[in-house]
Amino acid sequence: MSTADDGFRPLDENSLVEYIKATPSLLAKLGGAVDNLIIKEVGDGNLNFVYIVVAPAGSLVIKQALPYIRCIGESWPMTKERAYFEATALRAHGRLCPAHVPEVYHFDRSMSLIGMRYLEPPHIILRKGLIAGVEYPLLAEHMAEYMSKTLFYTSLLYTTTTEHKRAVAEFCGNVELCRLTEQVVFSDPYKVSQYNRWTSPYLDRDAEAVREDNVLKLEVAQLKSMFCERAQALIHGDLHTGSVMVTQESTQVIDPEFAFYGPMGFDIGAFLGNLILAFFAQAGHANEGNDRKAYKKWILRTIEETWNLFYKKFVALWNENKDGPGEAYLPPIYNHSEVLQLVQTKYMENLLHDSLGFGAAKMIRRIVGVAHVEDFESISDASKRAECERKALNFAKMLMKERRKFTSVTEVVSAIQEVDS
């Protein structure tokens, strides 16, 4: 357990205890003592190490980034500086929306280590709840709240150009994680890549069709450019249903290590796209006891409500702050109801289209790219799995190409139902 030149050393369960003992802000969260600790490494994450630490008088989570991608190994190096951007984003988003972001207790840059609130049971990863068929009545409301606040307040609708450019410059440093997204979301699925996989042989022809679809490739190129070029807000960058922990009353967004100033639609689309994946996976989870029909309706309602509540909350923040520090729409030009409504309607229409495009890209990559989702992976019958995946894939292809024709989320939900019937 030697210390590297830069002060970094990977922790294990033993050295972790020593680390906590030596770190007052962490020790305090455990009530000041490290006796009778229960430490569990929860290895369901893809990139990092996460330790749950429970003491008789308190608890916390320690997340450490190692200089490679955990699920692939040392052969795929990845800067551990991602922990810095994760901590910075957790704090920034936590300030804006404390109800839905776990508190950061401690950050150690040289150790790439974050100490944060332990989201205690019954919190589970949303994706697992969706697979189990559990309804979360507050999910849409909470996610709309989280996305509207984090995106609105970090955009030029609220921040000054000066602060915006300062923050954009800082998050340009998270370039390695941006590059990873560029590769696995916007590139690999559209070419032959050693990392791609799909439910073979069932989807062989479908995967090939993605690689040969010129119109799809045109659309994904434009989405990729937007991802690379457009610094619209401080986005989470990885907002799938595996980055959300839930109970019936609580919704908590974790894991923003991909955060940077990018297009808002990338976050909204990630969440909605993963709900659509969950929808198409339901047929694979149905059994005699539960045909999942009611649950599918709930997912569709959640998709619809998430966007509609997001819309309402985002525009409400805009109206509340129309005389605020934001420099995009200056009061003397835009603070008259007719023109304000005109620009807001256009802004939200564009944002819906961006979200549908990015959502579709996120769906496609989960079916024919490197990283798949448990929603489908947990369907053991490969032919049934492939059938679910094919429906989702075809819907996503249509959505990416036709996204500009949708004027409301209700039309999107209708389109999903049509494909499903």
Ligand X SMILES: Nc1ncnc2c1ncn2[C@@H]1O[C@H](COP(=O)(O)OP(=O)(O)O)[C@@H](O)[C@H]1O
**Residues in the site for a second copy, rule: CB under 8 A?**
156, 161-162, 164-166, 168-170, 172-173, 175, 178-179, 182, 187, 190-192, 211, 214-215, 217-218, 221-222, 224-225, 228-232, 327-330, 332-334, 338-339, 342-343, 346
The CA distance from 95 to 88, in Å, is 11
The angle, 0 to 180 degrees and rounded to 10, between the axes of the packed helices 409-420 and 293-320 is 170
Residue 123 C-beta: closest distance to ligand X, Å: 6
Contacted entry of Mg ion, a second copy, ligand X, none for residue 62, CB cut-off 5 to 8 Å set by kind = none
Phi and psi at 3, nearest 5°, equal: -95, 125
Contacted entry of Mg ion, ligand X, a second copy, none for residue 3, CB cut-off 5 to 8 Å set by kind = none
Amino acid at 315: V
Interface pick for ligand X out of 11, 23, 30, 45 (rule CB under 6 A): 45
Residue 212 C-beta: closest distance to a second copy, Å: 9
The CA distance from 19 to 88, in Å, is 21
The CA distance from 50 to 53, in Å, is 10
* Maximal C-alpha separation, the chain: 66
Residue 53 C-beta: closest distance to ligand X, Å: 10
Binding mask 201-240 for ligand X (x = CB under 6 A): ----------------------------------------
81 binds ligand X (CB under 6 A): no
Residue 98 C-beta: closest distance to ligand X, Å: 14
Measured from the CB atom, the residue of 11 and 239 that comes closer to Mg ion is: 239
- DSSP 8-state class, residue 289: T
Q: By beta-carbon distance, which residue lies closest to ligand X?
A: 45
Contacted entry of Mg ion, a second copy, ligand X, none for residue 98, CB cut-off 5 to 8 Å set by kind = Mg ion
Report the DSSP beta bridge partners of residue 251. Answer: 246
370: helix, strand or coil: coil
Contacted entry of ligand X, a second copy, Mg ion, none for residue 322, CB cut-off 5 to 8 Å set by kind = none
How buried is residue 73: exposed, middle or buried, by Cβ count under 10 Å (0-12/13-18/19+)? Answer: exposed
Among 177, 413, 187, which Cα is nearest to 302's? 413
Cβ–Cβ under 8 Å, residues 106 and 23: yes
Chain residues in the site for ligand X (CB under 6 A): 42, 44-48, 50, 61, 63, 102, 116-119, 125, 243, 254-255, 257
